[in-house]
Structure 1
Amino acid sequence: MASDKENGLMDIRIPAGWTLAGLVGGLLFGMALHGTPGFAVIEMIAAPIGSIWLDALQMTIIPLVASLLVLGISQMAQAASAGRVARHTISWIFALLVLGAISTCIFMPLLLEAFPIPEGAAGFLMTGDSATTSEVPGVGSFVTSLVAPNIIAAAAQTSMLPLTIFFALLALAIVRLPTGQRDTLLALFRALGNAMLVIIGWVLAVAPVGVFALAIGVAATGGGGAFATLGHYILTVTAMGTLVMLAGYVVAIVGGRIGPLAFTRAMLPAQAVALSTQSSLASLPAMLVSARRMGIRESTADFVLPLAVAIFRATSPAMNLAVAIYVAHLAGATLDPATLATGVLVALIISVGSVSLPGSISFVISVGPIALAMGVPVEPLALLVAVEMLPDIMRTIGNVTMDVAVTTAVDHDDDLREEPLQP
């Protein structure tokens, strides 16, 4: 899968097709042999293999999230200092990320209520020994939990909300340090991130084996319902990305004063590149062409679009929250306002740190912290990552559409037209 590589982290190649084959093969193998005399022995061998792979996948989450957040937020803070156009662009980005996250909190539960998860889906919760939900604090406890008095203890307890807030504040503090100290700390976190990516690259390189082992147990519990659940999951999560993409049209029409037909025609080539490459960075040349076709100033497009590709993934909070909400429904967890608010906060912060990663790694690193913060089991993510290559298509198309839409809105602001743009 192509990667949106922008902040210097190492490029990781993930065998997405083989991982999907491992999932399908494990489900078919488990369904075919379930009930036979030798199946108990097969399951006894497969269960620890899947469990070890799942634990290896989870062990990199906190250090990788820490490094990516520091790098991503520091990059955004430095971009904001580039002038009013940059700050205006970041304001649009922040507002749209919040809107996408809140929209998912509203529409995803309604969609799952209208189209319930198929029977047999409970098998996805049998992929680990700890597939249980945890208690989420009330409103008062939620507010006090935003700050951890002991960050080491918070990491040991995987308390993701105070951890993400701490590393976000750390990133902002690092930006304010003298140049030498700032560069030293950013180099440290960049090296830590690269090291964690090497480890998670090793783990995901054997994903076909781990997913195959986990899928055998799922097939024994869910049978053919597992395939129906996967299809249902892909469609519902992709629907939240589609809402973000459609919001891009609204932004361009209302904020950028671009006619709907003109925007649609101009966007088709860039969306086609996004569909074929699944990379916003690879789609950047086509996005620049789309901007010119709509009459956007070349100086605006040349400044805003690369900035958006570097720090903006419009679909991330919406689709990542959709995954967490889906798993919560699988587990029968209650999603009260405090739970959803926790998920929104973590999703917004985490989205800044995952813009440079391939879809499979971004899925684990982005959704894992959200699920942990919401008290949702993370074990199903080990199987859902195998089909991420399909929703990732909509992620990229939505991101590309929204990047160009934001560019039209920034270009339409008359107050910014006379300001020189910094490269």
Structure 2
Amino acid sequence: MSQSRIAAFFTSLSFFVIAALVAGVVVGALAQGSQAAWLTGALGVVESLGQVWLNALRMTVIPLVFSLLVTGIVSIADAAATGRIAVRSLVVFAVLLVGATIYAILAGLGLLAVWPIDPEAGRGLLAGVSAESLATVGEAARTDGLRAFLASLAPANVIKAASDDGVLAVVVFAVAFGFAATRIKAELRRPLAGFFEAVAETMVVIVHWVLLAAPFGVFALALGVGLRAGLGVAGTLAHYVAIVCLS
């Protein structure tokens, strides 16, 4: 598939995802106003399917991040031994990353200054979030931030950290693993890097499959928000979409 076709695909997919988000909130709000128990129950089942779609997307994050980091570090280390181009590339990448981060922060703060979020709408959006998600956020808020951050850098069990969506711990371990791989023999390093490159490519294929169902998944998840919070969250969701687009 050519780059132009890929760009056209994701552009059309983004349009359908936004349309599905709006439609899900509207349909959920209408079902909330109908006071029909059977309809609410049926839409609740659809919302559960949306959670299945979200879990299918989330399951690729850990192996994809780990594989990309390992292969990236190994390839950069190999390229660095051949000349200064790799070093310059790293400097440019670091500058672009820092610049993009600063831009995202300034763009978000600027949008909040020009278009502030209504506190009532924010509370309405929180009302549309499942109780399980709120409990998880509340538990994280009660944790000592600095101590939890330092402890997460080197977990005793990286497999458990990955199962708990501890992306930071996986990133730290992947960086250490990648740099350690650069210190072993080349005949061992090459097949190792090839294995993780194959894993990354496989995860990208799975992500592509999951994204094909993105309009339905977003619609199903938005149903739950509309069912519990109504149309009052439309402005807050539009604000979120604007921040994502700016960033």
- Regarding TM over 0.5, the answer is yes
* Offset at residue 210 of structure 1 (A): 1.8
Gaps of 5+ in 2: none
Equivalent residue runs for 1:77-96 within 5 Å: 77-96=77-96
Instruction: Name the counterpart of 1:153.
Output: 160
* Offset at residue 65 of structure 1 (A): 1.4
SS at match of 2:46: helix
TM-score, scaled to structure 1: 0.48
Q: Does 1:117 align with 2:117?
A: yes
1:78-113 deviation per Cα after TM superposition (whole angstroms, max 9, x unaligned): 343342343134223213423443564577457536
Instruction: Name the counterpart of 2:23.
Output: 25
Instruction: Name the counterpart of 2:52.
Output: 52
Instruction: Name the counterpart of 2:32.
Output: 34
The 1:238/1:57 distance shift into structure 2, 3 A limit, reads: closer
Instruction: Name the counterpart of 1:72.
Output: 72
Alpha-carbon separation, structure 2, partners of 1:201 and 1:208 = 13
Contact 2:60-2:203 within 8 A present in 1 as well: yes
Structure 1 counterpart of 2:129, from 126, 129, 132: 126
Whichever residue aligns with residue 185 of structure 2, its letter is: P
TM-score, scaled to structure 2: 0.76
1:36-70 deviation per Cα after TM superposition (whole angstroms, max 9, x unaligned): 12532333322321222222222222112111221
Instruction: Name the counterpart of 2:170.
Output: 163
Instruction: Name the counterpart of 2:218.
Output: 211
Structure 1 counterpart of 2:180, from 168, 173, 197: 173
1:203-240 deviation per Cα after TM superposition (whole angstroms, max 9, x unaligned): 2222222221111121233433443223322333444x
Whichever residue aligns with residue 72 of structure 1, its letter is: G
Alpha-carbon separation, structure 2, partners of 1:128 and 1:175 = 45
Alpha-carbon separation, structure 1, partners of 2:147 and 2:44 = 45
Alpha-carbon separation, structure 2, partners of 1:64 and 1:95 = 24
Contact 1:63-1:192 within 8 A present in 2 as well: yes
Alpha-carbon separation, structure 2, partners of 1:2 and 1:228 = 37
- Larger % of helix: which? 2
Equivalent residue runs for 1:196-345 within 5 Å: 196-239=203-246, 319=247
After superposition, the CA RMSD in angstroms is 3.2
* Offset at residue 154 of structure 1 (A): 1.8
SS at match of 1:130: helix
The 1:237/1:26 distance shift into structure 2, 3 A limit, reads: closer
Contact 1:73-1:168 within 8 A present in 2 as well: yes
Alpha-carbon separation, structure 1, partners of 2:211 and 2:131 = 18
Whichever residue aligns with residue 163 of structure 2, its letter is: A
The 1:214/1:145 distance shift into structure 2, 3 A limit, reads: closer
SS at match of 1:34: helix
* Offset at residue 189 of structure 1 (A): 0.9
